[in-house]
Structure 1
Amino acid sequence: MSKIVRLTLFKIPNAADLPDAAKSYSTLAQDAQKDGKPYIISSHGNQTYDDPRAQGYNFVARTVFESKADMDYYDNECSAHAALKNSLKSKTGGPPLVVYVDGQ
């Protein structure tokens, strides 16, 4: 079965908030636990290049899961993800754009 690669694009209006967002995603794979063990294969976030084609999205988080079931757990039950969403909620300009694909 293929791994799941998830990209989450954010519009973060205040550039001073971008380093904190990147830091949050850099520790997510260690912080997120399922059955007492880390379950996210990798996670990191980066600021995008300033380009009009980005349509205002200026931060991209890439998260890799072993399975779609793990991503569903992340979305619906993971306390680390809930804390991450809570910390970013007031810093974003609208809801994020989320896409995911089969990955290698």
Structure 2
Amino acid sequence: MAKRIVRLTLFKISDPAVIQEAIQKYSTLTQDAVKDGKQYIQLASAAATHDDPRAQGHTLVARTTFESKSDMDYYDNECAAHNAIKAFIKPKVAGPPLVVNMDL
């Protein structure tokens, strides 16, 4: 049986308004993202981090869960909903995000 993939993406965003807007965009991602006409993301959410030096400047964590690696690859390379989030966040983030994938 294939394992689901959980992906955590950590961003360094200094503007609290941008963080809140990103959280809103991730809150609708499971409905907005479609592959072959169907919703394919199992779970999507985002939250601001606590103000803690151990966060190393990361201020937003996004969590997405996929049923398969092919779904995650589609998300990375072809998903219009994900591309819209990337277009919004990329110019507002300090450096590339930290992305961690793991089996659930």
Whole-angstrom CA distance in 1 between matches of 2:84 and 2:18 = 16
- Runs (4+) of structure 1 exceeding 2 A deviation are none
Q: Which residue of 2 aligns with 1:26?
A: 27
Which position in structure 2 is the counterpart of 1:10?
A: 11
Query: Which amino acid in 2 is paired with 1:102?
Result: D
- The Cα of 1:60 is off from its aligned counterpart by 0.1
Residue 44 (str. 1) matches residue 45 (str. 2): yes
Q: Report the Cα offset of residue 17 of structure 1.
A: 1.2
Q: 1:51-66 maps to which residues of 2 (within 5 A)?
A: 51-66=52-67
| Equivalent residue, structure 2, for 1:71 | 72
* 1:29-88 superposed Cα distances (whole Å, 9 cap, x missing partner): 110000001000010000001100110001000000001110001001111111110011
Distance in 2 between residues matched to 1:20 and 1:83, nearest whole Å: 12
CA RMSD of superposed structures (Å):
0.7
Paired residues in the alignment total: 103
> Please, which runs of 5 or more residues in structure 2 have no aligned partner?
none
SS at 1:90 equivalent: helix
TM-score (norm 2): 0.96
Identical amino acids, percent of aligned pairs: 60
